[in-house]
Amino acid sequence: MAKPKVSSDWCAGCSGCHMSFLDMDERLLELVNLADIRATPFTDLKHPDEDGVQIGIIEGGINNLTHIEVIKRMRERSKYLVAFGDCAVFGGVPAMRNFFDLQETLRYAYIDTISTDESGKIPNDPEVAVMTRVQAISEVVKVDVFLPGCPPSADAIFYTLSELAKGRMPKLTGDLLNWH
């Protein structure tokens, strides 16, 4: 029987969750026996073009129009969608900007401070056209599994992915999530 495909993608975050994927160390070999690991930190491929994904993993909150496309595409292609890390689960670090005025923040970033963009304007680009507020993944698409943590522990990642690969819904506990 074909192994279930696992694929991941990024929205707004620091990529720390993806790096914690690699913290599974030798258990990655165990996971490779259970699942067909496609676009993940193994390949460092962003916005993968994979169909028939059993387990889709999204890191980061929704900050711009591109992120909305990313999560909708992953939702359409995946049987199970995992919100991977605090930024995906509730907005996390990127959502700190929700406490500030958006236009003032953009002006500060692109006009009032030194920037690689010397046009003196806020770029008109879907990667920059930030949403009024950073959103959690579940505010836009249905999420099947919430895997919190900044980043989630390697134990929690391994448990979640191996359970899903076996066709079972994970039951995450406080111990696995380091809630002590």
Least distance (Å) between residue 87 CB and ligand SF4: 3
> Which of 45, 68, 93, 128 forms a contact with ligand SF4 (CB under 6 A)?
93
Nearest CB to ligand SF4, comparing residues 35 and 95: 95
| Spatial contact of 157 and 21, defined as CB atoms under 8 Å apart | yes
Which residue type does 159 have?
Answer: Y
Q: What is the DSSP letter of 61?
A: B
* 91 lines the binding site for ligand SF4 (CB under 6 A): no
Nearest CB to ligand SF4, comparing residues 45 and 122: 45
CA distance 180 to 165: 28
* 59 lines the binding site for ligand SF4 (CB under 6 A): yes
Omega prior to 170 cis, within 30 of 0:
no
How many Cβ atoms sit within 10 Å of the Cβ of residue 148? 20
Nearest CB to ligand SF4, comparing residues 60 and 170: 60
* 86 lines the binding site for ligand SF4 (CB under 6 A): yes
